[in-house]
Amino acid sequence: MFVKPYRRRGDCVARVLPSLLKACVGLAVWLIVAFLEEDYYICAKLGPFTPGNETNNGTSQQEIVARETKFRQCKSDAQIIAWVVSVALIVAGTTMIVWKKCYFKDKLLMESKSLVS
C-alpha cells in the first residue's frame, strides 16, 4: 500500500510545544499543592491572621464571624482552583499526546510498513 507523503506545517511548533508542556508540569504541580495546602492562598487573600488574637484586638463578634466566613470561602476557592489547575494539566497533556500522535502519523505509518516487510 502506497502512502502519499504530505507536507507538514509547523514542524518546529510540533517539537517545541511538548517541551514547553513538560517544562510547565513542575509549575502546575507546585500550584496544585499550594492551593490544596490552602495556607498560601488564604494568607494572600486575607492577610496574616492568628485565631487567638481576635479577642485581644477588641474586634466585635460580627467582625469575627465575617472573617470566619471569608476564611471558609477562601478555603473552598483554593480547593476549586487546585482542581481546575489539575484538570487543565491533564487535558493539556492528553491533547498534546493525541495531537503529536496524529501530527507525526507518517512516521508511524512508515514504521509499521517497515515492520510488515
Cβ atoms of 78 and 35 within 8 Å: the answer is: yes
* Among candidate residues 47, 46, 63, 66, the one with its CA nearest the CA of residue 55: 63
Give the three-class secondary structure for 83: helix
Low-confidence ranges of the chain (pLDDT < 70): 1-12, 14, 49-59, 103-117
Residue whose entry in the numeric block shows the C-alpha cell 465575617: 66
Residue whose entry in the numeric block shows the C-alpha cell 471558609: 72
Q: What is the pLDDT of residue 81?
A: 92
- Report how far residue 37's alpha carbon sits from residue 20's, in angstroms, rounded to the nearest whole number: 26
Q: What is the pLDDT of residue 79?
A: 92
Cβ atoms of 38 and 79 within 8 Å: the answer is: yes
Q: Is 0.95 surpassed by the pTM of this model?
A: no
